[in-house]
Amino acid sequence: MFPQQVHEYMKTFFQETNCQIIEEDEHYLTVQLTIDMDKRIMNRPYYWKYVESTNGVPAPSQLTLITDQNHVSSELRGEIVHFGSYRLNQLFKATKELGKYVQMFENTDSFEGQTILTPYLGVNYKVSYLCDKTREHLYSLGVNLMTGKIIDDFQDIVTQIDLVSDLPDNAFPLQFIIKPLRGIERLDLVINNIIQLDDHTWVEEADKRWKRDQRVLDYFYKDIDEKPECYEIEAKALEERYNAKIKIEIINGGLFYLR
């Protein structure tokens, strides 16, 4: 996920959650949080408990988030945000909580007459390669629920479309042929295929680091026939650290009725 993609994601997130963007260029943005968003991402439970118990005047936080520190003034103070950073993961989590599933319709002009809308299922995935080093990838896939056609970068497509939550008066949504559950199964197969075709040398490299550290651990206990409990604890910690795992997570998704 490149800096500009992170920037656009955050901009869209704050706009959709009614947080005012006070200042922005292509490398940073300053945003005024709403009360709800402050409670979700700023970790100030005691402050909000005090304000609510005393009927005080709430003061939600203001954030400056920098997506490319090499292209902003050194005097600008703010948080550096990149893919994998704590703040961006907070926004992913909030997005998941607020919009795990949506149903949206492409807006249509009333003078066009009746417009037929085709159902699509869109799903945003996060794939994490986990060992002592973590690597994450985002994939946005869509499937036409009439034809079964798979669409890459579906999120980029729908963000360019004027979407509304209520069906326009002059729009007619087609009833899907492929059920959404079957659509998800198809997209899961695509994600699994992407993973299978990916470069997995990271697993071998993690295993080499595991064996190296295990040899070091064994060296310190080489003269002890019956290994103490602390040895077993350290060996287990090495296994948990280096044992390679792949985690697939659905961030959010929904039904989109498009022309």
Residue extents of the structural domains in the chain: 3-98, 101-200+245-258
Note the pLDDT tens digit of each residue in 35-59: 999 999 999 999 999 999 999 999 9
Question: Is the backbone of residue 18 left (phi > 0), alpha (psi -120 to 50) or beta?
Answer: left
Note the pLDDT tens digit of each residue in 233-243: 999 999 999 99
Least confident of 83-92, 96-105, 194-203: 96-105
d(Cα 208, Cα 130) in Å, to the nearest integer?
Answer: 15
User: Which carries the bigger pLDDT value, residue 101 or residue 197?
Assistant: 197
Can you tell me which residue has the tokens 């300053």?
A: 30
pLDDT at position 90, please?
92
Average pLDDT of the segment spanning 219-234 = 93
What are the C-alpha distances in Å from 253 to residues 96, 97, 154, 181, 258? 9, 12, 10, 12, 15
Average pLDDT of the segment spanning 94-107 = 84
pLDDT greater than 80 at residue 100: no
